[in-house]
Structure 1
């Protein structure tokens, strides 16, 4: 699994967003993602008004993010929950985007097996396609700007999950 966070240019970080800005960003993100093609083509699921069936399916797939933990709540990053939040995933369930969880966007590429190069390639392709349509916040010295300062720069994080035999 490889992921990165992105903030949309022209919007404040999570704690300072208004309810209208959350809604506006969700609309902008969902319409952008609906234009993706090929292996990135998928469906956007808004958290507001989500049916129990869809919610359970996303929980079963381990895709659904929950309202922020105590740290995000203490930072006031969960205002107007679940307004303006959503999840997108492709048909193969190897590409996801979380809208307005901790960051404006959390872009995730993952798959079973050991082909980390393929996972990274998909992430880079997705980020480039999204950035063609929505500009990201960037600083020449700090790199990509995110809500949590530990994610500044490339914002890329990679992890590998392995099954250890008993």
Structure 2
């Protein structure tokens, strides 16, 4: 797993889809903020703002105070200024991190697959290319599950 996280900066150095960038930032959040348990979950990345759901106002206040440190840790991990701002929202209905994602248009899988494959072809290192494709596949599966569960 650590090896996969070490490849994230290389993946982000290529022009990649916003959904892939979002999945990478959320994965980094989960890894770095593991000690917050079920109190705070990264929900989505809107441009350069990471939206985070928290269980109550206390957690919101504490995490707002730590925002600059959290942003620094995330951006250091991906070696890219992916997050410039954190937006914390209280969601009292949080259950195990299963928060409905902002609805988006249906996935055009053929176009997205074409973008992923063309991005993958830019990666010369065969092992890194395979890891990129595996990560992209996992993101697509996650997105499909979210779409199926919310609609």
Scaled by the length of structure 1, the TM-score of the pair is 0.29
Structure having the larger proportion of residues in helix: 2
Q: Which has the higher contact order (CA 8 A, sep 6+)?
A: 1
TM-score by length of 2: 0.31
Q: Which has the larger share of strand?
A: 1
